[in-house]
Structure formats: structure tokens, C-alpha cells
Chains A and B, each alone.
Chain A
Amino acid sequence: MKILALEFSSSQRSFAILDSETNRVAGSAAEMGGRSTRAFALIEQALQKANLTREQIDCLAIGIGPGSYAGIRSAIALAQGWQMARDVKLIGLSSVETIASGLQHQRKFGRTNVVIDAQRNEFYLATYEISASMLKESEALRIVSADEIRSRIEAGQTVVGPELEKWFPQATLVYPEAGITARLATMSKAFVSGDKIEPIYLRETTFVKAPPSRIIP
């Protein structure tokens, strides 16, 4: 199976193509920046590196955050369009798990706090026990305060994640990488229709409801 992975949940948007038979990333590309993306040019670049055509892609694996809603939705919408045009499989994968799995792939073992900016001075946090043979989520993904992250750093724990330097200079910069997303996809069979993929929403919505309206027959 030829997998195209899109990981747009951070300011580094990455693209990777992996052949599940070899489990090797055959082509990849990445870009940094704000809202605008050269997604299709970079997908084409990755395809050329992999010596594949668009028609040969069997599956799209999407990083679904948590992270930048704009980036994640952009990747999901792209995948939805692809699925409507071609009969491809889709799978959504946690960007936090992608970061943890990437560390395991780089043999960076130990207890690790994966942190992603959740805006409003809050952070997504999941803690993993990482070894050569095991990747275990020991504390489930949740939203915590900056103080919680700070206390873990002060206690000497490892904190990693994208774009954390502004708040936690001691944290290690690690982006979720599409190549890892693609590898995770080979281990899952949770394929879904594109309309069932959505970003990981952890925060409760707090939109103000209108008062009851006046009904005049």
C-alpha cells in the first residue's frame, strides 16, 4: 500500500510517501510558515522523489492534532477531496502519538511529556514511556496549565513539542513528522470515510447561546 501522509498540525507542515511493503519513506517534503501552503507543489515533489504518480496513492494518513485547527482542517479537506476523486483509504492519527513514536524511532527513550500549544495559556499534554520495545501512553492526552508544564520541567522531566520555546525555553523542539504518521498508518486498520475525520477536539465549546426568542404567530 502506498501511503501519503500529511502532518499540518504545527507550523512545520510535512508530507511523506511510504510504501507499506518496505516500510520505507520513499519521498518527503516540508514547509514552514503561517496559513498559506504550497501543499500540492510539495505533494508533487514528494511523489517525484518516490517515483510515483498521484494515481498510485492508495491511502492518505492525516495528522489530526491536537494543534493548529487551520492546518489540520486544511489537511482533512485535502484528503476529503482526494477521496471523492479517487477511491483511496483515509485514516486520522494523533499528532501527539506521532511525536512520541518519532522519538522512539530516533531511540530517544524514557518518560517523556509531549506538549502542544492549546492557546489561551493552556497546553495539550500526554505522557509516554518510551523504550526500544515499547511506546506506552502513561498519562492520557488532556489540557493543562502552563504551571503544570513548568513544574514538570523543574522536576527534571523531559518536555518536548513544537513551538514551545516562547513559554518553556528548556523544552526540546520536536515537530510531528509525516513520515512517522505514515508508519503509524501501516499499523492501523482504522480507515474511515473522509466526513468522519475531524481534528481532536479536547476543549469544551463555550459559545454563548442567544436568549429564547419571541414567537409571534
Chain B
Amino acid sequence: MLILAIESSCDETSAAVIRDGVVVSNVVSSQIKLHAEYGGVVPELASREHLRGLIPVTQAALREANVTAMQLDALTATRGPGLPAALMIGLKAAQAMAFTLHKPFLGIHHHEAHLYSPWISGNPPRADFENLQPNVSLIVSGGHTMLVHVERELHHRVLGSTLDDAAGECFDKVGKLMGLPYPAGPEIDRLAEQGNAKAFDFPRPMLNDKNDDFSFAGLKTSVRYFLQKNPGLLDDSQTIRDLCASVQAAIVQVLVKKTIRATQRLGLQCVTASGGVTCNRSLRKELAAACTENGFTLRVAEKTLCTDNAAMIGILAERKLLAGDAGASLDAEIEPGWPLEQATSRA
């Protein structure tokens, strides 16, 4: 089966071609430089860029895969969640291609695709669903933080999610308080490497709550008040490194401990992680160490599949079509606030 996938849920325009479970091409055009000037994603600018970038990116994906649109068997795009105007551009273009080519169309839930992205690996990246085990999946990005129980392929149950800011959002906002460039997550990761994680003791929100939810707004506020009381701290670059390491440690500890605890409680042996924040080296290291200690298998999405990409959208769409999903109406609309629970039937 040959599928073209389009992803435009936030600030990356991406198109991928999937052939029989293999990612033949995955082209991503990032808008990070554009939004960095404004210290965050500006939805209006994102929409303008998607409109300009969609055709070159899609044509590059088709070219790289050495296929023409006429050869495609199905079309797919991210239907939600995400920025409404950004989602709409990718969705309508993919629907129009499906319409004119008389091919099926599938609208995919962005987070559901993240659930399966750790099962795509190799060169070229290939879906490895034969080895899929029941797992607890941590999805952690700038827009979302959630724990999901993946019972089997296409069957999942949300265990908990953030009640306020996402972990990536916390990284970015704390970075902004320290005057670091956007996106601050990678910068904090870099600076934290030479910092002392025990230099400052920031709160670990909801760490000991007996649920799987998260909250990071309080941590951000705590850093804000701390910096207001100690303005001179930002004059010293080593202190900034220590601040980065300390904040990062607080976020990572919460993410890792709650993931491991959920896995233990459910009696599972496998943990997966995906989303932009899983590029953070400390999170990868700490999660790997905790999984080893508990005898869990860990699968973290490859870095190119951690951030927004169309490859994971296409891989999931193919699995759904093979599982008998007839596809969506071509007039299916975007779902900017689509709850993950509604994306696939629960087991």
C-alpha cells in the first residue's frame, strides 16, 4: 500500500510517503526560525507558512520516494489536535488529493500517531508492530504531556495528562524567564549538561499524587518568583547552567517517576516515549536507567520521529486501513481539541 501523509498541526509542515510499512520519504520544513523572533509560535504566521510550504514539501516527499500522486493508494493527514488554521491547510489539501484521485482518505489523531512512533525504526525506518507489547506510553511535547496505556495495537486508554502546562511548555517558559532563545528546551538541555542539578531545589508538582496526571505551571511560577527574589542570579552564566540543570531535573524526575509507577501498577513490562521533549538527553538517560532498574523494555522514538512529522501519521494510517478502517468522509473537519480517547475504540 502506498500512502501520502501530511502533517501541519503546529509549526512544522511535513509530508511522507509510506510503502508497506516502510517510510520511503519524510520531509519536514520547520518554522522554528520564523517563530523564534517572537518567542513562541504565532498561529497566524504558522498558517501563512503552511500555505507557502505545503506544495514544495509534498512534492519533495513524492520526488524523494520516486512516486507520482497518481500511484498513491490512499491519503492521510493530521486531523487534530493542533492549531485550527494550521490543521485545516494540511487536511483540506490531502482531502482534495484524495477527492481528485478517487482514493480513500483518513484523518489521524496526532497523539495516537505518537503512541506508535517508538515502533518505527531502522534505515529506512520501518514499522515494527510484530514486536509491539502492551505498554505505558509517555507523550511529552510543547503542547502535551500524557501517559497512555496501549493495550494492543490501535487500543489505548489515557491514564493521565497535564492539568495545565505541558512539560515542553514549562521548558520554554522557564527559558524565557531566563532570557534564553526560543525554543528553550534544547538550550536548557545544552546548558544543563554543565550545570549542577542539585544547586536549586524546585518543586516536583504532583510527584506523589496517586494518579497519572501532571502539572507544570506551579514549577514555572516557582522559578519566576525565585528569579524575582534573586535577580542577580542571571548575571552569572554558571548559575544559569545550574538553574537549567535544576529545573530540568525537576521536570525529568516527575516524568520518569510517574511513568515507571504507572507501568508497575498495571503490571506491564514495556515503556515507550515520544514527542519533542524526548529529544532531551537527561530524560532519555533517566528513563532508560529507571527502566533498566525495573526490568522494563524501553522504546523511545527516534529523534526524527519525536518532533512533528508526517511519517508517523502515514504509518498509523496504513495500519488502520489494513485493519479495515474504511476511511473518513472527505468533508470530515479538523478537530483542534480532539480527545485521544475518541480517536480509536477503547479495549
Chain A positions within 8 Å of B, measured between CB atoms, are 35-41, 43, 54-55, 69-70, 73-74, 76-86, 193-195, 197-198, 205, 207-211, 213-216
Contact between B100 and A54 (Cβ–Cβ < 8 Å)?
Answer: yes
User: Does B101 sit at the interface, judged by CB under 8 A?
Assistant: yes
Report Cα–Cα, A41/B45, bound state, in Å. Answer: 30
Contact between B234 and A78 (Cβ–Cβ < 8 Å)?
Answer: no
3 smallest CB-CB distances across A and B, nearest first, come from A81-B96, A210-B39, A81-B93
Contact between B38 and A80 (Cβ–Cβ < 8 Å)?
Answer: no
B50-94 vs A, Cβ < 8 Å mask (1 yes, 0 no): 011111101100000000011000000000000011001111111
Please give me the residue from chain B that is nearest to A213 by CB atom: B181
Contact between A73 and B180 (Cβ–Cβ < 8 Å)?
Answer: no
User: Does B293 sit at the interface, judged by CB under 8 A?
Assistant: no
Contact residue among A37, A76, A207 (Cβ-Cβ distance under 8 Å from B331): A37
Contact between A40 and B331 (Cβ–Cβ < 8 Å)?
Answer: yes
Main secondary structure of the interface of A (DSSP, over half): helix
Contact between B95 and A40 (Cβ–Cβ < 8 Å)?
Answer: yes
Total number of A-B contacts with CB less than 8 angstroms?
127
Contact residue among A73, A79, A193 (Cβ-Cβ distance under 8 Å from B88): A73
Q: Which residues of B contact A197 (CB under 8 A)?
A: 51
User: Does B206 sit at the interface, judged by CB under 8 A?
Assistant: no
Contact residue among A69, A70, A195, A207 (Cβ-Cβ distance under 8 Å from B54): A195
Smallest CB–CB gap between B175 and chain A, Å?
9
A–B pairs, 13, beta carbons within 8 Å: A70-B84, A73-B47, A73-B85, A79-B96, A81-B99, A195-B55, A198-B52, A207-B38, A207-B44, A210-B37, A210-B39, A210-B176, A214-B181
Contact between B37 and A70 (Cβ–Cβ < 8 Å)?
Answer: no
- Of A43, A70, A81, A211, the most chain B CB neighbours within 10 A belong to A81
Report Cα–Cα, A2/B95, bound state, in Å. Answer: 21
Please give me the residue from chain A that is nearest to B102 by CB atom: A54
User: Does B179 sit at the interface, judged by CB under 8 A?
Assistant: yes
Report Cα–Cα, A193/B55, bound state, in Å. Answer: 9
Given A205-B44, A213-B179, A216-B191, also A77-B92 (CB < 8 A)? yes
Report Cα–Cα, A198/B69, bound state, in Å. Answer: 23
Contact between B95 and A195 (Cβ–Cβ < 8 Å)?
Answer: no
Report Cα–Cα, A68/B234, bound state, in Å. Answer: 45
Q: Which residues of B contact A213 (CB under 8 A)?
A: 179-182
- Of A77, A78, A83, A214, the most chain B CB neighbours within 10 A belong to A77
Q: Which residues of B contact A80 (CB under 8 A)?
A: 51, 54-55, 93, 96
The size bracket of the interface on B is 35 or more
A-B contacts besides A78-B92, A205-B44, 13 pairs, CB < 8 Å: A37-B333, A40-B95, A54-B99, A69-B47, A74-B92, A77-B93, A77-B96, A83-B55, A85-B100, A86-B101, A205-B45, A207-B42, A216-B191
Q: Which residues of A contact B268 (CB under 8 A)?
A: none
Report Cα–Cα, A70/B84, bound state, in Å. Answer: 9
User: Does B237 sit at the interface, judged by CB under 8 A?
Assistant: yes
Contact residue among B40, B99, B180 (Cβ-Cβ distance under 8 Å from A43): B99
Q: Which residues of B contact A36 (CB under 8 A)?
A: 333
Q: Which residues of B contact A76 (CB under 8 A)?
A: 51
Contact between A40 and B37 (Cβ–Cβ < 8 Å)?
Answer: no
Q: Which of B159-215 touch A at CB < 8 Å?
A: 176, 178-182, 191
Smallest CB–CB gap between B191 and chain A, Å?
6
Report Cα–Cα, A40/B100, bound state, in Å. Answer: 10
Smallest CB–CB gap between A147 and chain B, Å?
27
Q: Which residues of A contact B40 (CB under 8 A)?
A: 210
Given A78-B95, A84-B58, also A39-B331 (CB < 8 A)? yes
User: Does B227 sit at the interface, judged by CB under 8 A?
Assistant: no
Contact between B94 and A81 (Cβ–Cβ < 8 Å)?
Answer: yes
